[in-house]
Every structure is written in structure tokens, then in C-alpha cells.
């Protein structure tokens, strides 16, 4: 391979590192908030408009609260408090 065809970045331009602020679990931060399957108003923030559960890398919840949150969403779906598919109104 010929070295003339390879493009090199300019000497003055360097790639900047993107700093992502670590998300804090809102249930760990405020112990007064309880995950309850009957509280559909709280649970709707953790599902998409299509009804899918949002992963913890996006919501910022810790692993243990994500598991209880998932269980609460599935229970709320089973008793028709939350939709399996569709939009929330």
C-alpha cells in the first residue's frame, strides 16, 4: 500500500473526548420514591411510546431498581394498567 494515499489528521486538530455525565438512579437518590405496579404515572417514564421498556443505560437506573421496575411494568401490563403495545395517553 502506498503511503501517499493515506490521509493524516492535521497537526493542530486533535480529536476531542466526549464527556458523558454519569446518570444517577432516581430511586437510589430519593428513597421516598417507591416502585409500585399500581402507579402507572411513574412507570410510563420508563417505557417508550411503543410500549417497550427503556434500558438502564438510557434511564440511568441501577441494576437492582431496573429489575424491580421491569417486574412492576410487567405486572401493570398483566392487569391492563399499561399497554403491551401502543401509545400512552
Is residue 52 included in any domain, yes or no? yes
pTM of this structure:
0.72
- Rounded percentage of the chain residues whose pLDDT exceeds 90: 61
Q: Which domain holds residue 30?
A: 26-78
DSSP 27-79: HHH-TT----TT-HHHHGGGB-TTSPBPPHHHH---HHHHHHHHHHHHHHHHT
CATH of the domain at 42: 4.10.640.10
Mean pLDDT of 61-75: 96
Amino acid at each position: 500500500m502506498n503511503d501517499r494515499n493515506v490521509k493524516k489528521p492535521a497537526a493542530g486538530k486533535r480529536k476531542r473526548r466526549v464527556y458523558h455525565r454519569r446518570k444517577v438512579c432516581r430511586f437510589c437518590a430519593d428513597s421516598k420514591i417507591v416502585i409500585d405496579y399500581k402507579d402507572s404515572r411513574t412507570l410510563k417514564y420508563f417505557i417508550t411510546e411503543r410500549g417497550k421498556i427503556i434500558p438502564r443505560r438510557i434511564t440511568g437506573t441501577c441494576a437492582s431498581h431496573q429489575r424491580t421496575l421491569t417486574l412492576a411494568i410487567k405486572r401493570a401490563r398483566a392487569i391492563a394498567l399499561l399497554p403491551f403495545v401502543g401509545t400512552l395517553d
